[in-house]
Amino acid sequence: METPGTALIKELKRSGVSMTEDPQLILKKAMSELYDFCEDVKVEEDGPNFNVIIFKPKPSDPVGMIGFVQTMIAASLISERESKITFIRRQEMKRGNLYLVIGTYDKELEQGTKMIKN
């Protein structure tokens, strides 16, 4: 299944951007340089989480149950870079900017959770 993130990943690779680069560079290149999804992007890694600020997202309204298109794209790009499943911990629009916390699912965490349950 292809997502908006899948198309951007292919385009990034064609333009010479490696998915091992800094996550901020990857998201900025994809979302504000190759395509006009926002004005700028800031990313901070915080352990298994990525704190992302998307400045002036376009479109700036959520799409039904899906939420913001930029959220799906950012999660897809981080998932590809990290080679892990990602999920959205939080998405919030404040003062025209979209604030995201994107978590990564770690297999070691899953095993630890199973051990606690048993």
The dihedrals phi and psi of 30, each to the nearest 5 degrees, come to -70, -45
| Domain range enclosing 65 | 4-117
Q: What is the CATH number of the domain that holds 48?
A: 3.30.980
pLDDT at 113: 53
Q: What is the mean pLDDT of residues 23-46?
A: 93
pLDDT at 115: 47
Task: Please state, in angstroms and rounded to a whole number, the distance separating the CA atoms of residues 22 and 32.
Answer: 15
Distances in Å between the Cα of 60 and the Cα atoms of 34, 84, 86, 109 are 18, 27, 22, 34
Q: What is the mean pLDDT of residues 43-48?
A: 94
Q: Decide: helix, strand or coil at residue 2.
A: coil
How do residues 68-95 score in pLDDT, each as one tens digit? 889 989 999 999 999 999 999 999 999 9
Q: What is the mean pLDDT of residues 96-111?
A: 82
pLDDT at 106: 76
- Percent of the chain at pLDDT above 90? 54
Q: Decide: helix, strand or coil at residue 96.
A: coil
Residues 81, 35: contact at Cβ < 8 Å?
no
Q: How many residues does the chain have?
A: 118
Number of domains in the chain: 1
- The pTM score is 0.81
